[in-house]
Chains A and B, each alone.
Chain A
Amino acid sequence: MGELLEVNNLSISFTQYVQGLNRHDLKVISDLTIDVGESEIVAILGSSGSGKSLLAHSILGILPYNSHVTGDIKYKGQILDQELKEKLRGKEICLIPQSVNFLDPLMKVSEQAIGECKDEKEHAEKKIRQREIFAKYGLDESVDDLYPFELSGGMARKVLLSTALVGDPTLLIADEPTPGLDAKSVEETITDIRNLKEQGKGVLLITHEIDVALKTADRIAIFYSGYVIEINKVENFKNADNVLHPYTKALINSLPKNGFNLTEGVQPLDEVPGCPYYENCPIRIDKCANTKPQLEEHDGVMIRCFNFKEANDGT
């Protein structure tokens, strides 16, 4: 199983001007490390509006101009610079967008799935491919000529997925594929994404729905206040004892089936000197207040917490 995508210490910040000429750097993603292999689904689970989508934008090279990025992204071992991103996006790396708003409201959906073509020949080839994929997802020929506003919720979702598959990508990035869908559509989406894995594709699933992440992914990365604090196998998320980070434990305990135990506290908005979870952490040590823990491996789990670093060093 080869690595498709490796993201190492990626940080994304935005330069803002507040009150006249005072510049302010807003850090949205800090020191993010994650990897996705072939036939693997990795979920990034974080709260809404925490900037998870920017990871997708960064991989595809569509961040806005005022963003500042450090760290590196590799695709199949090759550094993914802007030039390579532009070459690969839409072909080997495809985005499955969130909603029908990502489709041009005045273009027929089949044309959007086909996308930009150099000439008639390419268009004809892609048209066949688009028809195959639409048919596979149960979209008959009458759907080809519809405009996005004419699609029902379920159809829209299948069209969005199809747009990503026409180019036959190796890596898919699903950015919040299940926003506000009914339970049945969510189940279908999960099945569709699992099927992509069966075809050998790697999927990076960005979501805030823990249930979707649990049912879909092989590994889950927990995104907290801009940091990835734990990457663990999905099996370990069944029980709070098998996950390591106190935030992950709190998250699992808060699920309805695990007793709905809510924890007080909010994610810090500003950059903090120490561990981002320091304020709310039940097992914090003095060191956590002013020193930032790194994401390190502990028994096959990636964890950002001094308690485990100590344990690591101890053994």
Chain B
Amino acid sequence: MIKINNKKLAKFFGYKAIRLLILLIVIAAISFIMIQMSPIDPVRAYLGQRIVSQEQMAIMGDYWGTNLSLGERVLGWLQTLATGSMGFSLIYRVPVTEVIIQKFTASFTLMAVSWVISAFVGFGLGVLAGAKEGTWIDKAIKTYCYILQSTPTFWIGLVLLMVFSVYLGWFPIGLSVPIGQLSDTVTFWQWLYRLILPAVTLSIVGIASLTMFTRDKLISVKKSDYFLFAQARGESFWGIIKNHGIRNILIPAITIQFMSFNELFGGTILVEQVFAYPGIGQATVAAGLRSDVPLLLGIVLISATFVFVGNLIADIIYEYVDPRIRGEEDE
């Protein structure tokens, strides 16, 4: 039923692609400059604890171009980046691209699972609280959200670990594979079992904001004239919530959920750290702590793209699903 104007769609994506390109160039340049200005010395970081003479250091510097001007170095970095190479990770000793693909895949599952959980639970609680506005259910859900909203993710992670892994012993304390087992021999269930606690922790962050948003939207729908009219027409309360309430809040709620990719990424860094889950979050922390400049810059670019994609999907939904905005293509 959705009529899509191809010309408009091409224009939309062309415009978005240009935006992404500009965004990535700017982010790449700025983060590179910031790292160059930080106390991290790439030559020192590369050599680690090895003791070398001043001459050898100078030769290394020459080879890597650390003695060039900042402008030249930025241009050099962007040129190499344009060829698709993000350099060589100092910690993992493999190309950055490979590290990112491997780590991101692991994190992606974690993020996707918790994103879906938070979408369903958050929306459901929001609808319930909004529909029952002012009752004890609403108050309980609201209090729950305020508590979640004001609690740091890593702390929730620690509490869950203490309760479910240490005291109750239901879940493993960490890692995505059992200790002493190779990652290729892990069964699906083993893997899923170890995913539960980190995914739940990560989803909790998203639930609170989505619930409050949904609740607020539903309350404004309840105050609308069409809600009143539906009541005047003898429709049942939950029928109206279902037919008119959810219909009108679903698009904004999905949009918000896609726009929360940045929180998801930020959250995964903390959650992976707490649960020792080997994903992009752990790689980020490792890269930062051990001055792995190429990897850190690579992760910055990937996370920017990830958040951009979330916003892009939100934009697409907004532009093409809502009939009121879709209708504008007629002109």
CA gap between A163 and B243 in the complex, in Å: 16
The A-contacting residues of B in range 64-81, CB under 8 angstroms, are: none
Task: Bits for A115-155, please: 1 = Cβ < 8 Å to B, else 0.
Answer: 11000000000000000000000000000000101100000
Of A86, A102, A147, the residue contacting B324 (CB under 8 A) is A147
Can you report 9 A-B residue pairs in the complex whose CB atoms are below 8 A from each other?
Answer: A89-B231, A105-B324, A106-B251, A115-B233, A115-B234, A116-B236, A149-B323, A149-B327, A163-B233
- A sample of 5 more A-B contacts (CB under 8 A), given A105-B324, A147-B327, is A60-B231, A86-B234, A95-B229, A103-B229, A116-B234
B179 at the interface (CB under 8 A from A): no
A108 to B, closest residue via Cβ: B323
Chain B residues with CB below 8 A from A57, complex form: 228, 232
**Which residue of A is nearest B321, CB measured?**
A106
The answer for the CA separation of A90 and B234 in the assembled complex, in Å, is: 5
Q: Is the CB of B235 within 8 A of A107?
A: no
CB-CB nearest 10 A-B residue pairs: A90-B234, A90-B233, A102-B229, A116-B235, A89-B234, A95-B232, A101-B225, A60-B232, A102-B225, A104-B226
Contact call B232/A62, Cβ cutoff below 8 A: yes
Whether a CB of chain B sits under 8 angstroms from the CB of A91 is: yes
A104 near B234 with CB under 8 A, answer no
**A115: contacting residue among B224, B235, B323, CB under 8 A:** B235
Q: Which applies to chain B's interface (DSSP): helix, strand, loop or mixed? A: helix
Q: Nearest CB to that of B251 among chain A residues? A: A106
In angstroms, Cα B247 to Cα A101, docked, is 16
Interface residues of A in 78-120 (CB under 8 A from B): 86-91, 94-95, 97-99, 101-107, 115-116
User: What residues of chain A lie closer than 8 Å to B231, measured between beta carbons?
Assistant: 60, 62, 89
In the complex, which residues of chain B have a beta carbon less than 8 angstroms from the beta carbon of A163? Answer: 233
- Complex Cα–Cα for A57 and B227 (A): 13
Q: Given A101-B226, A106-B248, are A90 and B327 neighbors across the interface (CB < 8 Å)?
A: no
Query: When A116-B243, A150-B327 are in contact, do A104 and B248 touch as well, CB less than 8 Å?
Result: yes
CB distance from A130 to the nearest CB of B (A): 13
B322 within 8 A of A: yes
B244 within 8 A of A: yes
Which residues from B are CB-within-8-Å of A97?
A: 225, 229, 232
| CA A150 to CA B330, docked complex, whole Å | 12
Contact call A105/B233, Cβ cutoff below 8 A: no
- Cβ of B323 and Cβ of A147 under 8 Å apart? yes
Encoded as 1 (CB less than 8 Å from any A CB) or 0, chain B from 243 to 257 comes to 110011001000000
Give A152 Cβ to nearest chain B Cβ, in Å: 14
Q: In the assembled complex, which residues on chain A have CB atoms less than 8 Å from the CB atom of B322?
A: 106
Q: How far is the CB of B265 from chain A (nearest CB, A)?
A: 31
A37 to B305, CA, bound (A): 69
Whether B226 lies near A89 (C-beta < 8 A) is: no
B307 located at the interface, meaning its Cβ lies under 8 Å from any Cβ of chain A in the complex: no
Contacting pair B247 A104 (CB below 8 A): yes
A62–B237 CA distance with the chains assembled, in angstroms: 12
**A57–B225 CA distance with the chains assembled, in angstroms:** 12
Set of chain B residues within 8 Å of A89, measured between Cβ atoms:
231-234
Closest to B231 in A: A62
Residue in chain A with minimal CB distance to B236: A116
Q: How far is the CA of A17 from the CA of B322 in the complex (A)?
A: 39
Docked CA distance A116–B236 (Å):
8
- Asked if B302 CB lies within 8 Å of chain A CBs, one says no
B14 lies within 8 A of chain A by Cβ: no
Chain A residues, CB < 8 A from B244: 104, 107
CA distance A104 to B246 in the complex (A): 11
Residues of chain A with a CB closer than 8 A to B234's CB:
86-91, 115-116
Complexed CA–CA distance, A46 and B189 (Å): 71
Residue of B nearest to A98 (CB): B225
Contacts of A99 in B (CB 8 A): 225
Closest CB-CB distance, A122 to chain B, in whole Å? 13
- The one of B225, B232, B247, B248 that contacts A90, using a Cβ cutoff of 8 Å: B232
State which of A88, A105, A150 has its C-beta within 8 Å of the C-beta of B226: A105
